[in-house]
Structure 1
Amino acid sequence: MASNFYWKAGSVLGLTALALGAFGAHGLAKHVNNDQTKIRNWTMAAEFQLMHGVALLALSSIPSTVRRIHPAASPLILGGTIMFSGTIYLLTLKREQFRALGPVTPLGGLAMMAGWATLLL
């Protein structure tokens, strides 16, 4: 059951990463006054989101009879990706409105790293 959830979550991350990446490439510049730092940050967020969406697809497709995956890996990767990429998107578009979420970005990065680290267990 959990693997089905993470398969769908990975698919949603992939779909939305492509849509947000396309917006970043074709529409973001006018919203951020062509600020290249903001455009690079947005691109990085979309790339990380896509990579971690694919990771969730891969993890959810490994049968438990083949390899036991630590149960914290997928939730950490999913939660971390939402926290990391999500806050970058929000801060890029509306920094003043979402300033309080700034500390969530590195916590999301740490959660993603922890998810990868659990794969070593």
Structure 2
Amino acid sequence: MKSVTLIFGTLYGLTSVILGAFGAHAFKKILSPDKLESFETGVKYQMYHALALLIIGLSLSFSTSLEKWGAWGLIIGTFLFSFSIYFLSFSDFWKMNLKFLGPITPLGGFFMILGWACLLLYFIKCR
């Protein structure tokens, strides 16, 4: 689990820097200001959680289910939250109806909250 957490942390960090650079330069020309703002929100949350995953990946032993569920909550939640925002941001540009992804964003947020709650319980109970 430690390796999985560190791999996702670095993968999310890498892709958030790449997507952030595109958002700051290339995507400014094709996305409306409100869509670009949404896109940047996805990038920010992805980077925040990349850093969190690296920290917990380097700090925890993953010997309890709370540690494991905490990491999985952040991994799954970040993917669902950020990537649904990315696709929704491009729906007008691609001229595709991606509104079905709308409920995925809060589901991702729920998984992130669940991950953080598991980590909180772990730190209260096990540390």
* Unaligned segments of structure 1, at least 5 residues: none
1:19 corresponds to 2:6: no
* Unpaired segments ≥5 residues, structure 2: 122-127
Q: Which aligned pairs between 1:58-97 and structure 2 lie closer than 5 A?
A: 58-64=55-61, 70-95=67-92, 96-97=96-97
Q: What is the CA deviation profile of residues 57-107 of structure 1, one whole-angstrom value per residue up to 9, with x for unaligned ones?
A: 111111429x96522001110100000000000000125332211100011
**Aligned counterpart, 1:101:** 101
CA distance in 1 between counterparts of 2:103 and 2:60 reads 36
Q: Give TM-score, length-normalised by structure 2.
A: 0.85
- 1:29-82 CA distances to partner (integer Å, 9 max, x unpaired)? 2222xx2111111111101000101111111111429x9652200111010000
RMSD: 1.7
The TM-score with structure 1 as length reference comes to 0.89
1:44 alignment partner, one of 41, 44, 58: 41
Structure number with higher helix proportion: 2
Q: What is the count of residue pairs matched by the alignment?
A: 117
2:124 alignment counterpart: none
SS in 1 for 2:68: coil
Q: Identity over the aligned pairs, expressed in percent?
A: 35
Amino acid across the alignment from 2:78:
T
